[in-house]
Structure 1
């Protein structure tokens, strides 16, 4: 297939482009900068210049591809309304192009906020509905197109997609540990996050693109629930720092931006995903990656 990929030079996007090319697909990658364009060309991908605010470029990419993988997100934490609006506009633009074609449209989503008190399941619908909700309610918006001749597949990524070069949640925990000289966890550290290695996540995107039926929700989750205490202990061992509990009222001062997530359960099952696609994660665990120096070398 000729696959149009947004976020093609991002953390998950770069690995997904590699996975798609290795499987024999042609890739059209959206690139905002000269550096991104050069990186894609070096891999053998075709470059389409543009970004999420350039709806014409998104429309062009979708029109000229057999499938779309949408992984880009503005991640403007200072202006979430702009991020949500851009995400909703991008999804709507791409989906409108694909109506009636039965072409695959794989889009990224997250585990955070789905449920509390138990691991999230693929059958759990996102509570984010409407343009003012997180990510602009893009997952539910896209699923509405499954009845309009679009093979919509949502991939919900674990809160930590880990590996060498990760700049996500785990890297923020490592940075806080370096800053304060102690690797912390909120309270007793029982809150847990799911985790997946980058290569396993990229392989799931490809499998979903190739084989998942319309309306599927897939969970890119290798480890269902890794307690924050275990993550903190792994970071402490890797950095040779003590490990300590951080009171909830002190979390913002200690963790900074990631404090709002450090006290949340963000766990999920991937049992249905594995059964549906035969996906078997084989990469290292989060603790193994931390111990091997994936984060401590920085």
Structure 2
């Protein structure tokens, strides 16, 4: 009977693993920390009496949320000491993620960055309610608040996010077209061609983590961004190549120097022009760029 219960616990956890990883990743922005949260979730789940659990999916999400909240609070100290801008860890995703508009939006680099402006509890409530459609009552159990308080937090978080999130969503095809134009301008060093694809208010964020060279502050404005990118690429003595990939549900580039992975360049597009460029060079955040990570909201 003990072995049977352990098998059922394992089967249930495995069946929901991708969902739980997605919950943890959206809350943390770090795949490595999300994996640690799943380990902690499994340890607690393996000790649960399944006969006492009415909704196993909800119970697992509750454990994952609590562990992620604990991790978020420790990550805050790490981020405060981080060198330069902190960007979410990029995940290579299957092409079908891009076809699921709700999933692609919830894990997009642009939204993940906005989520960073929320408090840990606000982020947990927003993610669970908006992305995973968890009930207020279940969220209340996960964050140790009353359902009424959770409703207020959800309203406040949604208002905060709506004021800061990108104004519109575009198709992967439109993003790919803008990325191709940007790539051609980068490879040829044509600043005017790059200016043509950059929005006037474009923002470049680069994350080297103090290990790789990167801008310590955001670079704002098409002219400054174009000259920084074209000028920076000219300083590399190594051969620069790139490979089209899908990152966080959107087209992106895997950049290589002399054949070695150097970084992921993701973009956000509005009205056919690039409004955001996110270049992640920190090696600790590039461990998943050669394999797909399965994500799901269900």
Structure-1-length-normalised TM-score: 0.32
Structure with the bigger percentage of strand:
1
Higher percent of residues as helix? 2
- Greater Cα radius of gyration, structure 1 or 2: 2
Higher relative contact order, chain-length normalized (CA < 8 Å, sep 6+): 2
Normalised by the length of structure 2, the TM-score is: 0.32
